[in-house]
């Protein structure tokens, strides 16, 4: 009876038993009801999935999920210069989480295009979160 549930479902379904859908029991075609063999009637998923909503957290401390179905997106610069700048951005008290994510993204994009972080680019980014002296 689970055919209507396609895909892994949302975070709300993470705790529900995937076999019975949280009912704790299974009904067969003849209307007979049996205890779910997977959760033994509790309706709870047995394995500890440790699912967390990471969309609101800092990209720098992003823990990649082992079971992520999508290809892992790059969240941190690959070059030493870029990583250093990203660290400064992460630690900058004046920046909002949104701005931090956007600037870090910019570094990664810049690296993808140029293969490295140019001095001009590093300076340009730093200007956006450092007070001019
Ligand atoms: Zn079950």
Residue 102 has pLDDT above 90, yes or no: yes
The more confidently predicted of residues 78 and 2 is 78
Say how many Å lie between the CA of residue 36 and the centre of ligand 1. 4
Using an 8 Å Cβ cutoff, are 109 and 79 in contact?
no
Domain for residue 74, yes or no? Answer: no
User: Residue 5's closest CA among 68, 17, 40?
Assistant: 17
Q: How much distance in Å is there from the Cα of 47 to the middle of ligand 1? A: 12
In a domain, 69, yes or no: no
In this prediction, residue 86 carries a pLDDT of: 97
Q: Which pTM value belongs to this model?
A: 0.45
Identify the CA nearest to 77 among candidates 114, 131, 39, 31.
114
Q: What is the mean pLDDT of residues 69-95?
A: 89
Check if the beta carbon of residue 77 is closer than 8 Å to that of residue 71.
Answer: no
Percent of the chain predicted with pLDDT > 90: 40
Q: Report the number of distinct structural domains present in the chain.
A: 2
Residue 66 lies in a domain: no
Spacing, Cα 24 to ligand 1 middle (Å): 4
Mean pLDDT of 71-96: 91
pLDDT band (50, 70, 90) for residue 68: low
Range of the domain at 95: 80-129
**What is the distance in A from the centroid of ligand 1 to the CA of 96?**
43
pLDDT over 90 at 98, yes or no: yes
Question: Does residue 104 fall inside a structural domain?
Answer: yes
Whether residue 117 lies inside any domain: the answer is yes
Give dist(CA 84, CA 89) in Å, integer. 9
Confirm whether 54 is domain-assigned.
no
Average the pLDDT over 87-100 and give the result.
94
Is 108 domain-assigned? yes
Q: How far is the CA of 129 from the centre of ligand 1 (A)?
A: 51
Give the Å distance between the CA of 34 and the centre of ligand 1: 10
Would residue 65 count as lying in a domain? Answer: no
Cβ contacts of 100 within 8 Å, gap of 6 or more:
58, 59, 89, 90, 92
Per-residue confidence (pLDDT) for residue 30, from 0 to 100: 82
Compute, in angstroms, the gap from residue 74 CA to the centroid of ligand 1: 36
């Amino acid at each position: 009876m689970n055919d209507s549930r396609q895909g892994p479902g949302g975070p709300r379904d993470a705790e529900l038993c995937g076999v019975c859908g949280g009912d704790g029991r299974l009904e067969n075609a003849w209307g007979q009801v049996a205890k779910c063999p997977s959760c033994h009637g509790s309706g709870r998923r047995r394995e500890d999935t440790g699912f967390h909503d990471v969309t609101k957290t800092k990209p720098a401390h992003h823990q990649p999920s082992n079971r992520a179905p999508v290809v892992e997106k790059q969240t941190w610069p690959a070059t030493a210069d870029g990583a250093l700048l990203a660290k400064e951005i992460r630690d900058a008290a004046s920046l909002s989480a949104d701005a931090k994510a956007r600037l870090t993204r910019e570094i990664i994009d810049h690296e993808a295009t140029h293969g490295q972080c140019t001095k001009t680019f590093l300076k340009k980014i730093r200007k956006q979160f450092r007070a001019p002296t």
